[in-house]
A and B are shown apart, each in its own frame.
Chain A
Amino acid sequence: MTLCRLETVIRRWFAVTLMLLAACAAAAPPPSAELPPDSIYQLDIALQDQEGRSFPLAELRGTVYVVSMFYSSCQYACPTTIETVKHTLAQLPESRRGHARALMVSFDPKRDTVSVLERVAQEHGLDPQTWTLARTDEASARKLAAVLGVQYRALPDGDFNHNTRLLLIDRDGRIAGQTERIGKVEPTFVDRLRELAP
């Protein structure tokens, strides 16, 4: 009897949990649309941000992102990349600043620990409301790089040879713009950003 009752309780719990989950899923943006086949959120990878929080990449769906990949012990291109992203986002009118965020993913997970990412964020004055600096495992970094068209190769001295790309990602994870121009804001990229983040 007790066992049966227990089972019933568990079943009810299960049903309630399922209903809650369904409600949560329904509340998530965008509510009904299926993920586009070319969305980067098709990638099933997990990221960890500068505050140590782990989350699936697809959780970013619903917001416009400027995305780039980097490694923090880089001396030349990477600090410039961060500044370029900063200036790009600053092209949005003040009232729309919150409509787009920045995601920088490290391809050097060995050295770019959470505390290193946190330090980089502080050094560059990156507001966590707008900026996510993230790390992931090596295989996931390679997958993300593959969909973003980012190339990188570890050199024997611990440096990386890599290209630098800024990607504009729409709310559903589609690549809506890209530029390899850094150090200066790319006007067409900004135009696309303004269109996407009204």
Chain B
Amino acid sequence: MALPSRRALAAACGLAALCVCVPLYAAPYTTVPGGLFRGVLTGNEDPPSPVARFSMRVTPVTNAEYLAFVQRVPRWRRGAVPILFADSDYLRAWAGPTELGDAVFPEAPVTGVSWFAARAFCEDEGARLPTWLEWEYVAAADATRTDARSDPAWRARILAWYASSAEANKQRVGGEPNAYGVKDMHGLIWEWVEDFNALLVDADSRVQGDAEKLRFCGAGAITMKDRESYAILMRIALLSSMNAAGSTTTLGFRCARPLPETAP
């Protein structure tokens, strides 16, 4: 008597666990081990920046995933979002507020989303946007190495994408995984990061006197450490030109989650 009931209990528990886990695993994340990293924004005299271990979405968020989000959370639908959070470019490629239409592939990365909208999606998924440093850290990997940046062939391959003008809406996510198991870091879209508005802080020449000292606290201006990383610098330039309510047809995002310091 005890055995079947225990089995039934186990089955019920398993079922319950499945129900709980299915939405969590619907979007696969992968663990990115921490490390020390010299990014393009790390000053020449600065020590490498520590990157704490975190988990990152394997692929960028797709149109289908974003559609499911706005279906569930009506206040993020096109036309319902206050202009403070998303301007008129928001999801412009979609046929309607809750309709992709024929021109937009469900499995293509969603683009035309503002920083606020991207953040809201990630928060809804129990995540956040990656920081620039986290994004750059993962983007430095190729298929076999976690840091392939010194390889001219790898750099050339990435740059080749920027020269082509593919429509993001017509391409599906799910390219080759890099050494961390993360896909589509290059070659598909530009991606929002949490600190997008902090990457380039420029001096304004209209200011009289010692502009640097007057307008900036941290006197250390950004020094571009590795001028050969054009592809990365282009991303910084693009993100810096955006405002938080804006978007473009090639700008999408993926989410990240912090992890406890030590492995569980």
Contact = CB atoms under 8 A, between A and B. Distances in A.
Interface residues of B, number: 39
Interface string A5-38: 0000000000000000000000000000001011
A182 B207 contact: yes
A80 B197 contact: no
A77 B215 contact: yes
A42 interface: yes
A151 B84 contact: no
Interface in B192-225: 194-195, 197-202, 204, 206-209, 213-222
Interface in A95-152: 139, 142-143, 145-147, 149-152
Given A37-B83, A42-B82, A161 B197 contact: no
A42 B4 CA distance: 56
Interface stretch (A53-61, A68-76, A86-94): A68-76
Q: Is the interface of A mostly helix, strand, loop or mixed?
A: loop
A16 to B, nearest CB: 31
Contacts of A75: 217
Q: Is the interface of B mostly helix, strand, loop or mixed?
A: loop
B98 interface: no
A74 B218 CA distance: 8
Given A38-B84, A156-B49, A181-B207, A77 B244 contact: no
| Residue in A37, A75, A145, A155 whose Cβ sees the most chain B Cβ within 10 Å | A155
B66 interface: no
Contact of A155 (B195, B202, B209, B218): B218
Interface residues of A, number: 39
Nearest to A71: B217
A151 B198 contact: yes
Given A43-B84, A156-B46, A181-B206, A151 B197 contact: yes
